[in-house]
Each structure stands twice: as C-alpha cells, then as structure tokens.
Amino acid sequence: MEEKFASLEELYQRLKPALRTKKNEMIRQKLPRMEEKEIWFYFCKHVWRGKSSLTLGEMVSDILNTDSYDIMKEVYDESDYRK
C-alpha cells in the first residue's frame, strides 16, 4: 500500500529519525556539525529532485546509505561555512 503525505512538512517529520541517524553518524565521523534540515535539503535538491513515486523506504535507504562526505561536501560548498 502506497503512503501519501499531505505536505512536505509531514514527509519531513516521517523522515526525521533517519535524518537524525545520519546526523549522528556524521558527528561520529567527526564531520562538521550539520542539522537535519540541511541534510533534508541536500536530498531534496540533489537526490530526489525530478523523481516521482518514491516510497518512504527508498527515501530512508537513500538517507542511510549515502556517503556522509558527499553530503558534507555539497552542503558546505553551497553555504557560507567554507569561509
């Protein structure tokens, strides 16, 4: 059965445990601190953009299996943190 979400905020809340897990993994790897929202925006812009019919499971898998360094590199390249 396909899950439907009323809003992006609802989807974000459902994915928050996976985002928090990725954030904690990045902390353990001693990468610069990143918030769940920054990780969320990375996936929205670089991984899921233009895709349709993604399942919650696929999105969780993307979050947990994407290399933390790839996320950090993109987020920090696009922000003022690199200064």
Residue 4: inside a domain: no
pTM comes to: 0.86
Dmax (CA) for the chain in angstroms is 47
Q: 82: pLDDT confidence band, cut at 50, 70 and 90?
A: very low
List all residues 6 or more positions away from 48 whose beta carbon is below 8 Å from its beta carbon: 54, 59, 62
Reply yes or no on whether the pLDDT at 63 is more than 90. yes
Residue 6: inside a domain: no
Q: Within 13 Å and on the Cβ side, how many CA atoms surround 63?
A: 27
pLDDT tens digits, 3-58: 788 899 999 999 999 999 999 999 999 998 899 999 999 999 999 999 988 999 99
Residue 50: inside a domain: yes
Q: How many domains does the chain have?
A: 1
User: 57 is in which domain, residue-wise?
Assistant: 12-82
